[in-house]
Structure 1
Amino acid sequence: MKKYKKIAIAITLVGILTTGVIVLGEPGSSVANSGTNTKISKEILTHFKSQNPSITESEIDSIMKQRKQLDELHKQMDKLELDYGILVDDPNKEPTKSVDDLTAEQRKNHRQLLTKIWDGEIQFLDAQYKAGLIEEDIYKEDKRNFEDLKKKQSE
């Protein structure tokens, strides 16, 4: 399970870097929410336009919202795994449990959240590809990897 999580994190990071969402962490780059209208900063718009000059602000906004939702799911997973004892926040300690040690209900909850994450990652990848932010060969390989990992973790 630990191996799959590391692979998933690595693939996720590649996806984040590919789309340029990492720009959000830089000072001066912000997305200001004013009611239902989301204003994309000039820096973020420039970054995305450098990857695909024909991308629209609506597509950028949608991609950024998807990434934010996906990040929230990953945070939920971290919390769930910490609560269940299959993840520790101290690098010098080992988890006290594995997924196999969880109760049937806990395994079900864990599997459901994992499925949501994999589905979200695949949807996010699809959105990046449709917006012209990643090349077809990278898209196909990443999608195949996500689907393989999703299948392995659901077994």
Structure 2
Amino acid sequence: MRRRQSHPLQLDLFPFLSILACTIGTLILLVVVISASGLGRERSNVQILARENAQNGERTPHYLECRREGVIIHPQKVLVPKADLDQPTSTLGILLANLRRQGDREYIIIAVRPDGFDCFEEVRYQAEQAGVALGYEPFNAEWKLCVPAPGQGNCS
């Protein structure tokens, strides 16, 4: 009598692995496309906020924007022309005098546009002369500055 040889059951995993590899490849492609589409978008509205963990945590910030034509005081959006920056009777001079009287309760945050470095240097000099604390942030020319209204945490 002949014995029958038992063959172990062989299972071919090649179709499963190829489907798995195609699925992983598709998911990677999807992640790359979604990431690339998010990188291509420019931010249009940018908000500068005082950090809660900064050393100025208890102070109230005042926001300025240095541009080529002068300094814009936010949120009122008052433009102080470049020629009037050193005048004590200008809106900037009055603001710095008020901040000097306030002492350690208020400070300035300045958004510096690429074309506004000359104005920034003048504002920084005047703020240091007045003893007013300040912070500054380089700001892209295409971005629109969004300054929160007093009493609001962010822009609407």
Please give the TM-score of this superposition, normalised by the length of structure 2: 0.19
Q: Higher helix share goes to which structure?
A: 1
Q: Higher strand share goes to which structure?
A: 2
Please give the TM-score of this superposition, normalised by the length of structure 1: 0.19
